[in-house]
Chains A and B, each alone.
Chain A
Amino acid sequence: MTETTDLRAKQPRFRGLEAGHRACQGCGEALAARLVTEAAGPDVILTNATGCLEVFSTAWPQSAWRVPWLHSLFENSAAIASGVEAALKAQGRRTKVIAQGGDGGTFDIGFQALSGMLERMHNVLYVCYDNEAYMNTGIQRSSSTPHAAMTTTSPPGKARMGKRHMKKDLLSIIAAHHIPYAASASVAYPQDLRRKVRRAMEIDGPTFLLVHSPCPLGWGHDGTLTIEVARLAVQTGLFPLVELERGEVASVMPLRRPVPVAEYLQRQTRFRHLFADGDHRAREEREHLQALADYNIERYGLMGDGDDPFDSEGADTIRRGGPART
């Protein structure tokens, strides 16, 4: 075999999601899943809702997973994870179960199963890779799609400016389950993401992680910009990174300097209609999204006081030899 095959085997990190998967170039979800499984380590069993992640990782007879993995349906990742967990309990095994789903499989069709899993206090970490639409079926709006975003089922036109409704505040609903730990994270902040995964892994009980994972195809940005776009989502306040303990906000990633939402929007064609010349609605909707970001900033108290090494600009700092802060 080639030299890299040998090197690959000697990588100083666990590989949960191996190369050779068929995600698009620059796929945020593939990256997120890679980071989550690396942080979680080998002693896990994964479940997976139907969706891009499932499709691109397991084209039979191949699989990109290096951890035991189970996919059943679109809407039952949480429920099959509950079953796996019950079985492990019955067998006296301590392997952690991680349920995975996209926003469609989590916010929408799998919502009930997720709620049930949380309510029954299964020892499962549920990870939602949030790319804010049904991407696998060709970019249809989900309840996670941001307000005013264009999808194939929320197209802009004379009568509409993209999605009419707001992005569902899933974390608050998760919080209402009073589970030990829930957090939002972003692929743009891998250290923060890993820390949150490790924190969740340590807890015996249901935990939830919402990982903002850009979809270059669905959002309309170049695959090179996946991290940049994800970072802007955080830095604008549109996707706050927060941690909830028993439903209470325990910590947030402060914004050192909130970036205007236009910076985020203009990098993505799903918001292109918000920059149409001579359309007064474009300005209105941009302001609306800015107001939503401002609302998040106020609600979660995202404005830090002074430079914080773990704020939106410090948390991804690197130095020679790796991340500056871990």
Chain B
Amino acid sequence: MLEALEGSQAIARAVALCRPQVVAAYPITPQTHIVENISKLVADGRLDTQLVSVESEFSAASVVLGAAAAGSRAYTASSSQGILLMAEVLYNIAGLRLPMVLTCANRALGAPINIWNDHQDSMAVRDSGWIQLHCADNQEAVDTTIQAFRISEATDLPVMVCMDGFVLTHTLETIEMPDHKVVDKFLPPFKFARALDPRNPISLGTLVGPEYFSEIRHAQHKAMTDALETIVEVDRLWEKASGRACGGLFTVEGPADAKVGVLAMGSVVSTFREAMAELPSRKKAKLINLRAFRPFPAAALMAACEGLTDIVVVDRALSPGWGGILGGEVKAVLADMKKPPRVHNVALGLGGRDVPLEAWTAVVAEAKEPAGFRILDLEPAKLEPSDL
């Protein structure tokens, strides 16, 4: 059924469809509307869950860690500083191989404090061992949220669903909310083999010394790379169940014979899609919408980039002293190609700076510039002379 819903409200409804047994969260802009909507669903008796309103994001992550370990389907959401306060726990959840879903309403990190959207927060926990799936619009976010539980429970890996703060969370869109029956069939009740249970008392969270640590880490790494297949498979199954797919690991859109590619994640993809339709460029370019940032689809991406001379990677985050994080990764991956395209890396839309349709033209034009990194929408006039 099509409904006009705010992104956060849609996510709350999607989460409710997945019947989480424990939800724990702590308010932070721009995640708050998600938790508020879940709270309302609980208050209205539309969601039967243990809603734990904790005293910090750190405890929110810890509560869902405990809940998952005890065998419950668990969900949390956060953003920005909250993600960083969770960081220690996020590594733990992944290392303990606990399935759960977290919505990251992507937001910049301070200082300076900034409540608007970019990807710095989820990038900061890039190496935590969480699956990170990015959403281009709210329909994708709803579908990805539902898929995320299934992926997580199939792989014993936690899944972070990344959706841009405000741009998606606070935006009203027409959403097709799946039917309860469809979701129930797609997502059977959670059964966790390693659940804490006095009848089979295992110990979770043991001390692993140098003699075994590498092996445990290898097992985690392999589970992550194996999850690439699961992500594709679950997307396919969801398409079968709901009629909608999210593009698996990534989608490639635009003219098949284009020699220039643009790779981006999140809501800018929607902006670029629209720009491609509204502002036909003289220069042909493909748009690669990267959905699975972790695990990183290296082999598939190399195949997709065959024939490109240039690729412009759009980052919504910055590693000071290095450049774009996504850009660096794409460059590293494509370096293994026989004839790799030149990799151009731009950051734009940091801290909520508007990404207008025209940004597409500028991004495509970047392919003509020397390879390297820059902040594309920088306004040099605003800088102090010494910063130039």
Contact = CB atoms under 8 A, between A and B. Distances in A.
A84 to B, nearest CB: 4
A174 to B, nearest CB: 16
Interface in A101-135: 112-113, 115-116, 119-120
Given A70-B196, A72-B96, A90 B72 contact: yes
Contacts of B22: 83, 86-87, 90
B54 interface: yes
B50 A90 contact: yes
A325 B71 CA distance: 41
Interface string A132-157: 00000000000000000000000000
A84 B69 CA distance: 7
Interface string B55-83: 11011001111111111101000000000
A72 to B, nearest CB: 5
Interface residues of B, number: 43
A75 interface: yes
Contact of B58 (A75, A84, A86, A119): A75
B370 interface: no
Contact of A80 (B53, B66, B206): B66
A55 to B, nearest CB: 5
B208 interface: yes
B322 interface: no
A43 interface: yes
B147 interface: no
A61 interface: yes
B55, B63, B209: most-surrounded residue (chain A CB, <10 A): B63
A116 B65 contact: no
B58 A76 contact: yes
Interface in A71-86: 71-73, 75-76, 79-86
Given A61-B212, A72-B89, A47 B54 contact: no
Contacts of B209: 59-60
Nearest to A47: B66
Contacts of B70: 45, 83-84, 87-88, 91
A84 B55 CA distance: 17
B69 A80 contact: yes
A83 B204 contact: no
A89 B204 contact: no
Interface in B1-38: 21-22, 24
B202 interface: yes
Given A59-B209, A63-B203, A115-B55, A83 B198 contact: no
A91 B21 contact: yes
Contact of A86 (B63, B89, B96, B201): B63
Given A76-B89, A82-B63, A82-B66, A58 B207 contact: yes
B205 A72 contact: yes
A63 B88 CA distance: 24
Contacts, number: 166
A250 B273 CA distance: 69
Interface size class of A (residues with CB under 8 A): 35 or more
Nearest to B60: A79
Interface string A35-46: 000000011110
B59 to A, nearest CB: 4
A87 B52 contact: no
B174 interface: no
B62 A113 contact: yes
A119 B53 CA distance: 11
Interface string A53-70: 011011111010111111
Contact of A59 (B59, B71, B205, B207): B207
A313 B106 CA distance: 62
B196 A45 contact: yes
User: Which of A80, A84, A95, A112 lies at the interface centre, i.e. has the most chain B CB atoms within 10 A of its CB?
Assistant: A80
Of listed B54, B200, B205, residue having the most chain A CB within 10 A: B205
Contacts of A116: 54-56, 59
A48 interface: yes
Contact of A90 (B49, B62, B204): B49
A79 B56 CA distance: 10
28 contacts: A42-B201, A59-B207, A60-B206, A60-B208, A60-B216, A68-B203, A70-B66, A70-B69, A70-B204, A71-B203, A71-B205, A72-B66, A72-B89, A72-B205, A75-B58, A76-B62, A79-B54, A83-B62, A83-B68, A86-B63, A88-B70, A89-B50, A90-B21, A112-B55, A112-B59, A116-B54, A116-B59, A120-B53
